[in-house]
Structure 1
């Protein structure tokens, strides 16, 4: 869910706004501002028109809240709290509140900056650092506030904001202060938690119930977030994970903010005497991950911990992992192409062939940031220290332990070993940095195009524009570090596993899988001479004893690779051509743009820029790939094709703005779905069987029962290049040329 800017009210006061409120019974906004010697309360309708203007309060209004149980408006002034009766049935010409029917309390000695109400209780806090809990009398004609609990030094400085969060499990009170901290209290006034390290004075607190997140504003263009589910501060991450603020809104420094659940809106005040109204969009993205380059492809792992991999136009690959502490935070690790591949491309060299001169040698180059080795104290073993961008979080073993609030050095002093090794190998470190910078400068030579993850082999397959296919695997050495711990450390690890066993209900692994280790580039498959734009995996579930990779590209060739052995199996060969010629290994007239495999029929289909779809019988022997059918119907380039395993259909998307559904045998088109723009990518919702399409910059979901569009998600600003569906999270994830990866709620 995202928030979109709905309207801006300019110059609603001639002084900065000091208080915001909402009357749900009357569906009215209330704002207050500081004047020289008097205060004003303005009542707004949801349509941003002034309904009532109350000017007889006599003092500046600094805070306000409505007590629904007592039908009262509670206002905070300087050194006093005043309670006014609400006139629910006011007629035109009469004020919303009854000024004469009011009473005042003088417990505070400075400005009362915040007021909240819960049932019969009133919570107030102010610049005098006091947090006071009042109870309103229930007997008739009573005009008094009874002090239930008083905290004289709730913060180290004046309290600027307060928020009451009422959930099914518990009720919490949050206060923000000039001391740049937020403190969490129980409803009885007991301190639960202290949140620190905010960039400025806390100016606003707002609870978003739809995502169970609290917005914390501190005079900046982006809020910080507090996850009420886990009780953790997410941090200032709006730039990375939220699409709430469009670029034109970044000029505002937001001060006050409130959520209006009934209207599905949020009201905020900016530093320029303005009110901004935001509306929650249920079709908006749940989370937005920002990158520095356009994103070309996506894939993910099904095992825990679950990773999402993205390939980018600069040739880099990023591994994303959702943290256990929050559903909105993703750690990332950036990987670059092997250094030897860069030098090979710069010099224009082709890889040498084996003796048969038919298949190229498969190289096993590690990434340039894996070139520095370190020596362990036990034995003569060595590992390769990864280069991590200083803006990224630590991943691998360190990340796994930190997510469970454990410190790595308490289990195994690996960090001290790395530090001592770096001192000893300073020259190697400088060389490693240079090669890494070289990789970044030259990575534009090969943009990533397609990606797949093979679960059986824990292998990430990534194709590139230079015709290479890179096989990334998890570093087996790092995953075995814990097994080589001293006996005392092993005992500590066993104790930690026992403590983690309590978290089984949350699907948190209590054993160390291979995915905990970092990725290394294990092999590079070289046979294509141009961009590899299509790939499909033939698993062991088929009639074969090994796992094959089928690839196609702009060179119009089809290659079959044995992934288990890491070698080229065969190349498509046209059996109709008896003697050898230059067209014998060509599978179609123009570039192959995408391909898909049908396990049920043991057939694969590939689409081409010649507007045709070719269906062939799969065989690891190239000359036995018999042509079964050729499909025609699209009026422009066919950009994507998938096999719908739930419906047993072939589905294609094209730049002509249509999605075509073909029968199982590929003999005719059953249905044509019209869209509003070019279709760039497709995927299948594995739960309900819907087709999810990237139509230009929009995610569109089509129901194959009614053949209607049932959901549309808008947020990207450029073409969507890849879409995946994660059933376990009930999410669609899309990647775009706008340099973002967005998560959407599945249909």
Structure 2
């Protein structure tokens, strides 16, 4: 839902002084410095009709759909009435230059903003003569001391002028209008523009004024100041309210518009990609916007510049709502399904950012970078990796007593947990910082492959090495586990980082909250509130891959498999199964029929690019650089992940991604040549 640039009308004969529309024929109407009034096609920008030429600048345009007509006024003190096709049907000299026009449909009056005041005329829908506005004025109220630049009618009448005044009038039925409130110093300089919005359904009622004092102000309908915007370096020359996005565009001497949310006063310009997507060029900075006008019936916004030029933006309901920026290119994104919305993005520098949707509007997001190593005195506290209790004969001889004790505990653990693979040696997972493996952490099905001791090339998980390899490495995949409130990021530095809520801070905050609630007899707040306050901290690092990690898949089926598991893979072609409940390596893919060590642990012939899990089939699929997608049955035991079938197109192109379509129950693959293929599963 955004406004996207689509129109650039150049080389106009004169500068545009006012922008309007003809809603009957869905056309744009421009008034020029040379007095011309012309209609334009909003799609192509081509001129349709040259309607009239005033003797002097065109000062105001106003449409009157009820009469299927529109009006123009100029420095020659005339008001010209046009029919639906743009033909002049009436010309009226009102005795003063009208700088603004509005209608009061209930009283059947038209109000003109003139020098030093406002002038009222009655109107009638006379289809015979074409005359709509009566020539004799009903009232003239002179409360301004300079040109009245804006008049606007809601329940009350509002006027502003170059004298800096904002005046509110009561217009009772059957009697003359009177001043209800006057703000003599609404601005420190002349007021250039006035807009308003009234929508009681979403409590969106306000006035907005722009001034030569380089500020814009939002007022309540009874004239009380709500917000003041002073972020401008030049006078404010244009204001318009975009109904589709509920934002206000402000022109203030720049080639771009400032975008604000008038309801809460927030500057949302940095979250709008309308001007961010425009390529920087010398021409862009050679002009500045002057007038702005949003046309609701066309869903377009038109702006005039100082170069005899008009620009147009069209509302697109499939466009970008918010543009969130980071310093480095993004590699992966995930988001929550809860409100307020949380999004997590990983970039090419190895940083993960959390974006939280603000409750004030749907456009703005607060940003926070999730820390990796900062604040960690000992990185080994969070490292999770596979270790072998007795990899070599020497270690076994030197640690007979330890091994005997371990075997005793191993048997007890195996009897308690029935998911342990009995055919493999008992290798276990623990945090490196633990002096001893706790009873709860042993025998949960975690083990290291029997081939691990053949492939070890030295311990690279020291603090210095991890910091060195982690710096500047891309986050290739990011996954959100809402069940456990975990953020899982697969990195190019061979590690998998897991962030979660800070449990110690959460416990302390919960204790304080409960004590305060008991003392003050307050109702308990939700757990989500406490979670938002404590924030995320690095919980674990899974470090077992030998090359960059490209693929993550979540298996959340406790009934079928007895736990929540994470599948990971990458360019080392190995597949690991991690237990997210206990943060351990549960198993690893192995091929019991393989004749060679490398073949036993590699799941494909090429690098693995992507992976996804099908809860419907209980299969997982992974895309490989060997131009195949392998589909295997999931099992917590790596040796039982049988190959079910292979998806392969007869095209020489790598498969870069694979996803499970849970709506249609189909595999969808993407290839390096740009093709997307949908695979039908035949039972």
Please give the TM-score of this superposition, normalised by the length of structure 2: 0.72
Q: Is 2:278 the partner of 1:243? A: no
Of residues 234, 238, 241, the one that matches 2:266 is 234
Is the alpha carbon distance of 1:223 and 1:361 closer, same or farther for their aligned partners in structure 2, counting shifts above 3 Å?
A: farther
Query: How far apart are residue 288 of structure 1 and its match?
Result: 1.6
The residue that corresponds to 2:323 in the other structure is 288
> Contact conserved, 1:364 with 1:523, CA < 8 A, in 2?
no
Match of 1:212 in 2: 246
Q: CA deviation at 1:448?
A: 0.6
Pair 1:545 & 2:576 matched:
no
The alpha-carbon distance between structure 1 residues 79 and 42, as it changes in their structure 2 partners (threshold 3 A), is: farther
1:130, 1:259 → 2: CA distance? 25
CA contact (8 A) 1:43 1:53 kept: no
User: 1:292 Cα deviation (Å)?
Assistant: 1.7
User: For the Cα contact (< 8 Å) 1:241–1:290, is it kept in 2?
Assistant: no
Pick the aligned partner of 2:349 from 314, 324, 335. 314
Structure 1 residues 615 and 599 mapped into 2: Cα distance closer, same or farther (>3 Å)?
Answer: same
| Equivalent runs, 1:89-488 vs 2, <5 Å | 105-118=141-154, 122-134=157-169, 147=179, 149-169=181-201, 171-187=205-221, 189-191=222-224, 193-200=226-233, 201-227=235-261, 231-235=263-267, 237-243=268-274, 246-248=277-279, 251=285, 252-338=287-373, 353-357=387-391, 445-483=472-510, 485=512
Structure 1 position 494, deviation (Å): 6.8
Q: 1:625/1:192 Cα in 2 relative to 1: closer, same or farther (>3 Å)?
A: same
Mark the CA change 1:73 to 1:486 in structure 2 (over 3 Å): closer, same or farther. closer
* Aligned counterparts of 2:546 and 2:98: Cα–Cα separation in 1: 70
Q: Does 1:79 align with 2:106?
A: no
2:35 paired with 1:4:
no
Q: How many residues align?
A: 565
Quickly say closer, same or farther: Cα 1:603–1:471, change in 2 above 3 A: same
In the alignment, the residues of structure 2 paired with residue 315 and residue 179 of structure 1 have an alpha-carbon distance, to the nearest angstrom, of 46
For the 8 Å contact 2:340–2:358, the answer to whether it is kept is no
- In structure 2, relative to structure 1, the CA distance for the partners of 1:27 and 1:543 (3 Å cut) is closer
- After TM superposition, the structure 1 stretch with the greater mean CA deviation from structure 2, 76-85 or 510-519, is 76-85
CA distance in 1, matches of 2:520, 2:260: 31
1:523 & 1:658 partners in 2: Cα distance? 37
Partner of 1:590: 606
Q: Which has the higher contact order (CA 8 A, sep 6+)?
A: 1
1:98 Cα deviation from its structure 2 partner = 7.6
User: Alpha-carbon deviation of 1:587?
Assistant: 0.7
Kept in 2: contact 1:364–1:524 (CA 8 A):
no
Give the 5 Å matches for 1:629-640. 629-633=645-649, 635=651, 636-640=653-657
Mapped contact 2:610–2:624 kept (Cα < 8 A): yes
Kindly state the Cα deviation for residue 442 of structure 1 after the two structures are TM-superposed: 7.6
Shift of the alpha carbon at 1:31? 4.5
Q: Secondary structure at the match of 1:52?
A: strand
**Structure 2 residues not aligned, in runs of 5+:** 57-73, 78-96, 392-426, 435-462
Q: Tell me if the contact between 1:362 and 1:525 (Cα under 8 Å) persists in the aligned partners.
A: no
1:677-719 CA distances to partner (integer Å, 9 max, x unpaired)? xxxxxxxxxxxxxxxxxxxxxxxxxxxxxxxxxxxxxxxxxxx
Change (3 A) 1:600 1:28: closer
C-alpha change, 1:214 and 1:332, in structure 2 (3 Å) is same
Listed one character per residue, the Cα deviations across residues 245-279 of structure 1 (whole Å, up to 9, x for unaligned) are: 64248534333211101111111122444322221
* 1:558 Cα offset (Å): 0.9
1:600-622 C-alpha deviation (Å, 9 max, x unpaired): 33221112121212111112222
Structure 2 counterpart of 1:20: 19
Tell me the CA shift for residue 118 of structure 1.
3.7
SS in 2 for 1:513: helix
**CA–CA distance in structure 2, aligned partners of residues 148 and 202 of structure 1:** 27
Going from structure 1 to structure 2, the CA distance change for 1:232 and 1:590 (only over 3 Å counts) comes to: same
Which residue in 1 is equivalent to 2:94? none
Query: What is the CA RMSD across the aligned residues, in angstroms?
Result: 4.2
Tell me how far 1:461 sits from its aligned partner: 0.8
How far the C-alpha of 1:23 sits from its partner, in A, is: 4.0
Shift of 1:627: 1.2
Give the secondary-structure state (helix, strand or coil) at the position aligned to 1:290: coil
Asked if the contact 1:28–1:43 (Cα under 8 Å) also holds between the matched residues in 2, the reply is no
SS at match of 1:564: coil
Residue 327 of structure 1: how far off its partner (Å): 0.7
Q: Which residue of 1 aligns with 2:404?
A: none
Q: Provide the residue aligned with 2:672 in structure 1.
A: 655
SS of the residue aligned with 1:320?
Answer: strand
Show structure 1 runs of 5+ residues with no match.
345-349, 366-434, 502-508, 668-747
2:625 aligned to which of 606, 609, 626? 609
Q: How many angstroms apart in 2 are the aligned matches of 1:319 and 1:168?
A: 35
Helix, strand or coil for the counterpart of 1:514? Answer: helix
Mapped contact 2:220–2:226 kept (Cα < 8 A): no
Structure 1 residue 113, shift from structure 2 partner: 2.4
Q: How does 1:564-583 map to 2 (within 5 A)?
A: 564-577=581-594, 579-583=595-599
| Equivalent-residue separation in structure 2 for 1:493 and 1:597 (angstroms) | 49
Q: Distance in 1 between matches of 2:10 and 2:130?
A: 24
Q: How much has 1:449 moved relative to structure 2?
A: 0.6
- How far has the Cα of 1:85 moved from its partner? 8.7
1:554 aligns with 2:571: yes
Asked if 1 retains the 8 angstrom alpha-carbon contact of 2:658 and 2:668, the reply is yes
Q: Is the Cα–Cα contact under 8 Å of residues 2 and 244 in structure 1 kept in the other structure?
A: no
Post-superposition Cα deviations, 1:68-107, rounded to whole Å, max 9, x if no partner, equal 738887554543445689999999xx99998967786533
Structure 1 residues 598 and 76: CA distance shift in structure 2, 3 A: same
User: TM-score, normalized by length of structure 1?
Assistant: 0.66
* Structure 2 match to 1:685: none
Contact persistence 1:352–1:360 (CA under 8 A): yes
Whole-Å separation in 1 of the counterparts to 2:122 and 2:18: 18
SS at the partner of 2:265? strand
Equivalent position SS for 2:599: coil
Cα deviation for residue 328 of structure 1 reads 0.4
Query: Residues of 1 paired with 2:134 and 2:30: CA distance?
Result: 17
Once residues 83 and 41 of structure 1 are traced to their aligned partners in structure 2, the CA distance between those partners, rounded to angstroms, is 26
Aligned mates of 1:107, 1:340 — CA distance in 2: 65
Answer yes or no: is the 8 Å Cα contact 1:542–1:602 preserved in 2. Answer: no
The residue aligned with 1:728 is none
Please say which structure displays the higher CA radius of gyration.
2
2:37 match:
42
Q: 1:516 to 1:448 in 2, by over 3 A?
A: same
Give a deviation string over 1:103-130, Cα, whole Å, max 9, x none. Answer: 86533111322232348x6421012122
